[in-house]
Amino acid sequence: MTRHIQAKTILSSLKKGSDPYFGIRYNMNLYRGCQHGCIYCDSRSKCYQIADFTDIQVKQNALELLDKELRSKREKGTIGFGSMNDPYMPIEQELMLSRHALELIVRHKYPVHLITKSSLVCRDIDLLKETSKIYTAVSVTITTSNDVLSRQIEPGAPMSSQRFETIKSLSDSGIYCGILLMPVLPYITDNQENIEQMVISAKKSGAMYILAMMGMTLREGQRDYYYGQLDKKFPGLKENYMIRYGHDYSCNVPDHSHLWNLFQTTCKKVGLACSMKFYEPQNPVQQTLF
């Protein structure tokens, strides 16, 4: 189901300046809800007050608000796409809100960081080349190197192999891009083979960085949905989560330290950064993720 809503604002400022993980100063969500159906999505959490996450709400006045707010901002910090939903989910093919937002951002000369799982981002390479004159980063979320498994845990998103191809297209076009290996799901994607293959495939696809989080988050609303999906797709696994994590919000994988060291070692071995460059008005510098 799709319906249109009116938004009061479109850019939300981070309280303590740019975040230390993705370098984003302003969050922007042109839609509410998402069509990718990832079983682990944190945006299903009760605190975000979205009753049905498959009910896509289109912010009808988003572009008008964006133009107005871009004119009024004193600080030209990085605008982040994709904090609550994928800016390139299937509905974007028709409505083109993300593309039109990029057109405004080009006009006002702001830096951007897009986070997506979709190959549709390649449609806007022409605009991303323009924003790259200020700063552009495109981070493609890929959680597993296995296409069959990606279909199970991210049923509405392109397969992992298609996302690696997206990275290659962006990289070949000169766009600063990388991979988010987030989350790493306990007992599902937290194995040595997956971590090593993800880093190797990232390097081969032309990624310039790969950022990882060895675990996931679980909170009210999100946890219930995730456990229901585990019962359907991975019978018996829910009990392992309940025993190990209870009602914890932060759920590190069981072999966290080993896999984190393996990740860093493999990145170093293949020559791939495990941190990304952030926008700086005068002098871009390398920032450390963790």
- Statement: residue 225 has pLDDT above 70: yes
| Residue-wise pLDDT tens digits, 68-86 | 999 999 889 999 998 889 9
| Residue-wise pLDDT tens digits, 12-41 | 998 777 788 899 999 999 999 999 999 999
Least confident of 31-35, 114-118, 202-206: 31-35
Q: What is the mean pLDDT of the chain?
A: 94
pLDDT band for 222, please (50, 70, 90 cuts): very high
Helices marked H in 120-236 — which ranges? Answer: 125-131, 147-153, 160-172, 192-205, 222-233
**Cα–Cα distance measured from residue 36 to residue 177, given in angstroms and rounded to the nearest whole number:** 21
Q: Angle, to 10 degrees, between the axis of helix 62-72 and the axis of helix 97-108?
A: 20
- Statement: residue 286 has pLDDT above 50: no
Do 199 and 267 form a contact (C-beta atoms < 8 A)?
yes
**Cα–Cα distance measured from residue 167 to residue 154, given in angstroms and rounded to the nearest whole number:** 18
| Residue-wise pLDDT tens digits, 80-107 | 998 889 999 999 999 999 999 999 999 9
Yes or no: is domain 2-270 CATH 3.20.20.70? yes
- Statement: residue 283 has pLDDT above 60: no
* pLDDT at site 280: 84
- Statement: residue 288 has pLDDT above 80: no
Domain extent listing, the chain: 2-270
Residue of higher predicted confidence among 211 and 48: 211
Does an H or E element contain 175, and which?
none
